[in-house]
Amino acid sequence: MKKLNLIVIVITLTFAASCKNEKMTEKDIIQAPIAEKIPKELKIHDDVRVDDYYWLNQKENPKVIDYLNAENKYYDTLTAHTKKFQKDLFEEMKGRIKEDDASVPYKKNGYFYITRYETGKQYPIYTRKKGTLEGKEEIIFDVNIMAKDFEYYALGGLNVSENNNLAAFAVDTLSRRQYNLQFKNLKTGEIYPEVIKNTTGGSAWANDNETIFYTKKDPVTLRSDKIYKHVLGTDASEDVLVFEEKDDTFGTFVYKSKSKAYIIIGSYNTVSTEYQFVSADEPNGAFKILQKRERDLEYNVAHYEDHFYILTNKDGATNFKLMKTLVDKTEKENWVEVIAHREDTLLEDLSIFKDYLILEERSNGLNKIRIKSWDSPLDYYLPFEEETYSASVYNNPEFDTKIIRYNYSSYTTPSSVIDFNMEDKSKEIKKEQEVLGGKFDKNNYKSERIWAPTRDGKKVAISLVYHKDTKIGESTPLLLYAYGSYGHTIEDRFSSIRLSLLDRGFVYATAHIRGSEYLGRNWYEDGKMFSKKNTFNDFVDAAKYLITNNYTSAKHLYAEGGSAGGLLMGAIINMNAELFNGIIAAVPFVDVVTTMLDESIPLTTGEFDEWGNPKEKDSYAYMKSYSPYDNVSIKAYPNMLVTTGLHDSQVQYFEPAKWVAKLRELKTDDNKLFLYTNMDTGHGGASGRFDALKEVARDYAFLLDLEGVKK
């Protein structure tokens, strides 16, 4: 391989001293790293793509690391003038957070569980109290102590046994979502020697308090493909393989029913699901399939008394319906309808209580929580009055209770945890998010929801929030955010961090584009596969609507998206770069065709029904027509900040690296283009709560600097 041709950042004291001309700018002195072009032909379907930067996927190649470091240095140098501002933003955002905070206690199996934080510390402390909240605090895990020797540390999967004496927990120190599963004796404090590597982190205890089920991942593709059974005190090499998901388009998982009666294994892909179950009292028994998988049949299952309750799209129920079946007659021909399918309402989830059934629904884009009694005609919705908001059922592990706990938030209302008595309809706000600093007043902010017409006759909702003193017009800076894939809906929630933009005159907006389920399941179906371009068109049409209606202008409009939302960013700037002054693309999925052709890359095979399989000619042609990397052209692009993590398991670091290299080669403008790679983390960024704020401060400083805001 030829020597890597990097134009290294040149800032020498000798040269700088000779620059007497005051008109000389940073760009006259500093040149961006230029990646070497090593053409690689990629052939399929009688079509040839030439990828000049394919070599950047060689993570073990020192020249790749040198290139990423050079890009980081370039970013650091050209943004050096914002470093103090970034620090100030960080301190400002941190100053709004109650550092010595604690969650609302929840009761489970005789204990109250609390997660709390201490001032100045990055990580949570998990505790519990027996019987009453006045009891003695028992620290289960202090993650600050556990994480002290690591750049990245995530503790997950905390799961206490039925006798309350044992805890399963899982640790990821690389940010690739490959967790080591371990066990702790909560009576003695001993952490047992067995370590089970490469798991999803989740687990399910059998009722014998010594058998535990867990999911392992394929070490290359990271597909969740095997369910094992472990007996506490034995070596992990002796664990029994209970189920192997051999279809590489499916993943698998395991959990325990809320009723504590069953261990349930689920298998899933984009369009199909399958469940099997065994008595939690008989962990060595044989699992029974509830309903065998069928293409385009999706269902979820919950247990109550002698029935399974099934949320399903069976028989064309696009927005899902609720059915039930006896636990000994589980095949679909035995399913009986409980809640019928509705064209205008998406049935999203259910929660089972001893006396009540709780349904989470979505209508006209808004969350609804419906409460039904098992034994009476009682059937009503919780009242929510704001124009746009987010409400969801929240951490209700107890089965025999009349209290439902839910979370409520909006763009202007801080998040609240509320206990609602389903019998007498009284409610108690257990906690409202505190916004410190002495400046926050919700009445100083306005939110609204507008509807933008699209080119094919649909309407896209845009939720906006801004300071009441912000003058809306063509000079108003506006940040437009969206995701638009996998049916994931972005909720309109409060953010104390976002206040740092709003208080400096920004409008923040979310476009609820197709690919989400904001307007029901069809809204998702119309934004994937061969309809994927609707996602991009919706975002562009929303941007044009905001400009046309004088909410902002192209000189002050910014866009942001991450992961599949980063794909969105890449697509919209290839389509209509002129609409945006700046783009933030976080961990962006931009090399769609090459990635989806490589079945060794994590997530690929399980997503053929989301994006298509490019081994099929029609899917290949359609993907290629919108793939951001394949469609970079010789033209002007907006100012851009692209971020990634070296250890990203969801979107490999080389996708954004290649994309930026190609943009540098072809773009005709002098706008800023930065690639920043966190060399210690993966898809989710930093693990500490304050380190994560530093990443937001970096992004906000980029936007505010483009607007000329210095403090």
Q: Which helix (H) or strand (E) holds 308?
A: strand 307-312
Query: Which value, to the nearest 10 degrees, does the dihedral of the CA atoms of residues 554, 560, 564, 570 take?
Result: 40
Sign of the CA dihedral running 240, 243, 248, 251: negative
Query: What's the rounded Cα separation, in Å, for the pair 247 and 225?
Result: 9
Task: Please pick, among 683, 687, 699, 705, the residue that the annotation labels catalytic.
Answer: 683
Query: What's the rounded Cα separation, in Å, for the pair 491 and 511?
Result: 11
- Of 673, 664, 701, 480, which Cα lies nearest the Cα of 572? 480
Query: What's the rounded Cα separation, in Å, for the pair 273 and 408?
Result: 30
Task: Please pick, among 51, 538, 648, 699, the residue that the annotation labels catalytic.
Answer: 648
DSSP helix/strand/coil, 145: helix
Q: Is 705 a catalytic residue?
A: no
**Burial grade of 201 (CB within 10 A; 0-12, 13-18, 19 or more):** buried
Task: Please pick, among 267, 563, 619, 687, the residue that the annotation labels catalytic.
Answer: 563
Q: Is 648 a catalytic residue?
A: yes
Angle at 145 between CA 140 and CA 147, to 5 degrees: 110
3-state helix, strand, coil in the chain (%, to 5): 25, 35, 45
Angle at 175 between CA 169 and CA 176, to 5 degrees: 95
Contact partners, residue 678, CB within 8 Å, separation at least 6: 643, 644, 645, 646, 685, 686, 695
DSSP helix/strand/coil, 655: helix
Query: What's the rounded Cα separation, in Å, for the pair 128 and 554?
Result: 53
Query: What's the rounded Cα separation, in Å, for the pair 247 and 443?
Result: 54
Q: Are 398 and 404 in contact (CB under 8 A)?
A: no
Helix axes 617-626, 533-548, angle to 10 degrees: 20
- Of 607, 626, 650, which Cα lies nearest the Cα of 568? 626
DSSP helix/strand/coil, 651: coil
Q: Which residue has the tokens 């069976």?
A: 314
DSSP helix/strand/coil, 292: coil
Angle at 216 between CA 114 and CA 295, to 5 degrees: 105
Q: Annotated active-site positions, please?
A: 563, 648, 683
